[in-house]
Amino acid sequence: MNEKWIFFDVGSTLVDETEAYHHRIQEMIKGTELSFDTVDKKRIEFARLGFDGNSEIIRFFNLKKTPWHPEDELLFDDALDILNYLEEKGYKLGIIANQPKDFRQRLDSWELSKFFDVIAVSEEMGVSKPNKELFEIALSFANSQPNDSIMVGDRLDNDIIPAKSIGMKTIWIRTGLSKYQNTNLGENVADWTIDKLSDIKKLF
C-alpha cells in the first residue's frame, strides 16, 4: 500500500460518545412528555435516511440543545492499541474533526496527543466537516497527497463522502448512530468498512 498518512475523526471513532448523547437527550426532554425511547427511535430513523440524527431530533421535537458533557466520553478500549500498532507500522497519524477549542486538553487527558503529528479541528480552523476544506487543510499540514492518505470516521456524510470527494481512501467505522446509515448515501461508499478500531489490523 502507498498510503502514508491515516487521519481519524474523534467522536464515535476514537471516543465512545454514547453516554454523552444519552445524557443530553435526558436533559433535553426533561419537563416534556417525550420519552427517551421515542426520541431515540426518531434519531435512528433520521440516521437511516442519511441525516445526523442527533441534530435532527432537536429540530423535529423543537428541543433546546443542552450543554455537552465531556465527562461522559470514554476512549474506546482498543484506541490506544490501534494507534500504537499503526505508529509501529510506520504510518503518520492525524486528526480531522469537528471539535471545540478545548479539544487539545481533552486529547491530553486521554493520553493521545503523542500519536498525532497533524491536528485539524473545526474550532481552530474556522471550517467544519463536511466541508472538504478541513480535509484539504489537514493534508496541507501533512504535506501529503489525497491518494497517499486515509480517513477513518463513523459518518458517511461527514467523514467518508467528503474525504472521497478529494481522492482520499476511506475506512468507515460503524459505531453509534452510524451503523444505521445505509443505502440512501450509496452502496459501498467507503473503501473499507469495519465495526471496531482493532479491525484496522486486518487491513494493514
Residues 54, 57, 63, 68, Cα dihedral to 10° = -10
Which domains does the chain carry?
5-16+73-202 (3.40.50.1000), 18-70 (no CATH)
pLDDT digits (tens, 9 = 90+) for 118-153: 999 999 999 999 999 999 999 999 999 999 999 999
Residue 6 has pLDDT above 80, yes or no: yes
The pTM is what? 0.93
Site of grid cell 463522502: 161
pLDDT digits (tens, 9 = 90+) for 81-98: 999 999 999 999 999 999
Task: Tell me whether residue 95 is exposed, middle or buried, using C-beta atoms within 10 angstroms of its C-beta: 0 to 12, 13 to 18, 19 or more.
Answer: buried
